[in-house]
Structure 1
Amino acid sequence: MVEIPVIFEDNHLLTVVKPPNVLSQGDKSGDRDLLTLLKEKIKIRDNKPGNVFLGLLHRLDRPVGGVMVFAKTSKAASRLSAQIREREFGKTYLAVVHGVPEKRQALLEDYLLKNRKTNRVTVVDKDVAGAQKAVLDYELVAVADGFSLLKVNLHTGRPHQIRVQLAALGHPLYGDQRYGYEINKKGQQIGLWSHQIRCKHPIFNGWISFTSFPPGQGIWGIFKLDNSGQGFVHLDGQWTQEEKKDFCQKVVVMAEEG
């Protein structure tokens, strides 16, 4: 049975820690996926006779673990999807790369093209038909044993974006078999983790952050990031005490910040 830690749940949102190597949603492989597993869990727990609605708002590549947010109602799905389109849905990752980037902080802008037959993305000239602009910024957090730990903020949400842009910079992700196969070994777990998602609650409208650190084993262990893959919630900014009280009364699960 796949263990799926729940960071937060109310009547509108469900936020979990996706285990690495589990599909975000079903594909032609037929392997079990997170969306289906969560629907089954809710159906059994709540004794629902019909289908369970759970809106998939974003995806993580199969080898990547970390925070994922789902909508439990169509209204929540619509409002959160609007935030994604308007770039109000903030996504921050932790990444372990080979080597040390020349700049401690940088904004990367590239144009990416996806080959749908091979499911591979490449950096191309902006004039190439079908090319999409990809933007991220990174900050160097730590260096250990020839590897760098980066905090990466996505400005756009392109397929394989972080993996491709960092590889193009000359610093492929640890364990990435697709965009760093020349330097990585088979069987290594990719050094990429969905660290934090920040958005407006679709009903209360206050800002809320969901955060998770990767487990301490594997490559993450050299940076001593051991939070056992769990997560926590933080209410940001301008929540009044009354709003917080009302909000917390309606929460099903909320992992508190330690």
Structure 2
Amino acid sequence: MFDPQRILYEDNHLLVVNKRAGELVQPDPTGDPALEDEIKAFLGAREAKPGNVFLGVVHRIDRPVSGAVIFAKTGKALTRLNEMIKVREIDKYYWAITEKPLQPEAGTLVGHLVRDGRTNKSRIYPKPVPGSKEARLNYKLLGGSKNYFLVEVELLTGRHHQIRAQLSAAGSPIRGDLKYGAVRSNRDGSISLHSRRVEFLHPVARAGLPRERLVITAPAPAGDSLWNYFEESQR
């Protein structure tokens, strides 16, 4: 059952939720419960709405990743948000806990990504190759502990497993991400990648007013001492 305390922002048009690692955003062939369906059931019960509840998925994050996910509650908002995604008017910032520090401590990673559908994995190449798409992100080191490092990533393109593949290719795999070179798994099967913040203009302006700029931050996963340490270190 969906916990409404996970709602980060809500109005008549939008709903932003803090996804837990391991959850599906949308249903897939596994048949496992999906956040989209749980939120629809919650809204229908809360508002006593008969029949289907409209809820549009604006973007997805990988199953083992946590953090902010945007949903649209109206068709108007969904259409406009989809267009904003296409023209990159929604800024997305992630936190990643990595096993090794990136050098230099801040910069831009640019590569050419090819997705392998058989292995559900992406590979980064330094130059364009057949079937590749350019992948770009900005990063900066925010802090470190004895064994791990906190990196903030600004996602500039939205490719399959982009952050995971690019950080790994740069020699800094994400904690728990065995698929992309981590030394060991996390106990809960997650990877230490978190959709920390989304920033964008509200897709629907109030009458006579300019569109509001929203900055929505998702708290790091609770119950993980390393996430707790890094969350506190950034206060």
Provide the TM-score with structure 2 as the length reference. 0.90
Distance apart, 1:226 and its partner CA: 8.9
Contact 2:175-2:185 at 8 Å conserved across structures: no
Match of 1:212 among 203, 208, 218: 218
Where 1:44 maps in the other structure, the secondary structure is helix
Distance apart, 1:222 and its partner CA: 3.5
Equivalent in the alignment of 1:152 = 153
Letter in structure 2 aligned against 1:13: L
Q: Does 1:48 align with 2:27?
A: no
In structure 2, distance between residues paired with 1:186 and 1:146: 14
Equivalent in the alignment of 1:83 = 84
Equivalent in the alignment of 2:185 = 185
Equivalent in the alignment of 2:208 = none
Equivalent in the alignment of 1:254 = none
Q: Does 1:74 align with 2:80?
A: no
* Paired residues for 1:102-251 under 5 Å: 102-124=103-125, 126-181=127-182, 183-185=183-185, 187=187, 189-204=190-205, 205-216=211-222, 217-225=224-232
Where 1:63 maps in the other structure, the secondary structure is coil
Contact 2:2-2:42 at 8 Å conserved across structures: no
Matched length: 227
Where 1:70 maps in the other structure, the secondary structure is strand
Q: Does 1:64 align with 2:65?
A: yes
Contact 1:189-1:218 at 8 Å conserved across structures: no
Deviations 1:127-155 (A, max 9, x none): 32211110000010001112110111000
Distance apart, 1:186 and its partner CA: 5.7
In structure 2, distance between residues paired with 1:59 and 1:133: 19
* Paired residues for 1:24-35 under 5 Å: 24-35=25-36
Deviates more, 1:125-134 or 1:28-37: 125-134
Where 1:178 maps in the other structure, the secondary structure is helix
Contact 2:176-2:186 at 8 Å conserved across structures: yes
Contact 2:20-2:221 at 8 Å conserved across structures: no
Letter in structure 1 aligned against 2:180: Y
Equivalent in the alignment of 1:36 = 37
Contact 1:53-1:73 at 8 Å conserved across structures: yes
Structure 2 gap ranges (5+)? 206-210
Aligned-residue sequence identity (percent) comes to: 37
Where 1:140 maps in the other structure, the secondary structure is strand
Letter in structure 2 aligned against 1:124: Y
In structure 2, distance between residues paired with 1:82 and 1:102: 35
**Residues 189 and 226 of structure 1: is their aligned pair in 2 closer, same or farther, counting only changes over 3 Å?**
farther
In structure 1, distance between residues paired with 2:212 and 2:9: 15
Provide the TM-score with structure 1 as the length reference. 0.83
Distance apart, 1:2 and its partner CA: 4.9
Contact 1:63-1:190 at 8 Å conserved across structures: yes
Structure 1 gap ranges (5+)? 228-257
